[in-house]
């Protein structure tokens, strides 16, 4: 393995971990942020960021061919196990509000079409991130 390939694998894996942590942290803090003067802009941002997080979740296992580094990076799963339930909670409350009660995210007005897809998209994204992290944990170099 060349030095360039090693640095690419390490860099891609690290960036993948950082992006999925950023996504999960933003999801976890969503209920604290709520609807401010911008309304539902943060929800729209997270809906657009979900496919990006999915793409980067595929990169976290690239360090498996670097055994000593992979042994260190795979421990990133442990804090993620604590963070994912905190990220699921806002998705569940939004699902309850929008999909079950029929209200909008930030207003009592009826929900729009993108709001109906918001919570299922976040659930799917968090599930794929969890599966990718579990796969990286179980992956042996």
**Helix intervals (H) in the chain:** 3-28, 30-33, 41-57, 67-73, 77-94, 113-138
- Residue ranges covered by each domain of the chain: 6-138
Contacts of 6 (CB under 8 A, 6+ apart): 66
- Tokens matching residue 75: 């421990």
Distance of CA 67 to CAs 1, 37, 74, 139, Å? 12, 48, 10, 10
Retrieve residue 14's tokens.
């690290």
Ramachandran area for residue 69 (φ above 0: left; ψ -120 to 50: alpha; else beta): alpha
**pLDDT values of the chain reduced to their tens digit, one per residue, 141 residues:** 788 888 888 888 889 989 999 999 999 988 787 777 767 788 888 999 999 999 999 888 877 777 777 777 778 788 888 899 999 998 998 888 888 877 778 776 666 778 888 899 999 999 999 998 888 887 665
């Amino acid at each position: 393995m060349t030095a360039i390939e090693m640095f690419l694998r390490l860099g891609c894996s690290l960036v993948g971990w950082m992006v999925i942590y950023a996504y999960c942290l933003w999801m976890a803090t969503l209920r604290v942020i709520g609807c401010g003067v911008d309304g539902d802009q943060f929800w729209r941002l997270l809906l657009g960021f979900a496919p990006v997080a999915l793409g980067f979740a595929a990169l976290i296992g690239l360090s498996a061919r670097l055994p000593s580094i992979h042994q260190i990076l795979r421990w990133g799963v442990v804090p993620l196990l604590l963070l994912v339930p905190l990220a699921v909670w806002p998705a569940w409350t939004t699902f309850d509000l929008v999909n079950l009660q029929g209200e909008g995210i930030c207003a009592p007005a009826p929900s729009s079409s993108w709001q109906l897809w918001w919570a299922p998209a976040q659930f799917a994204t968090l599930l794929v991130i969890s599966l990718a992290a579990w796969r990286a944990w179980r992956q042996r170099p």
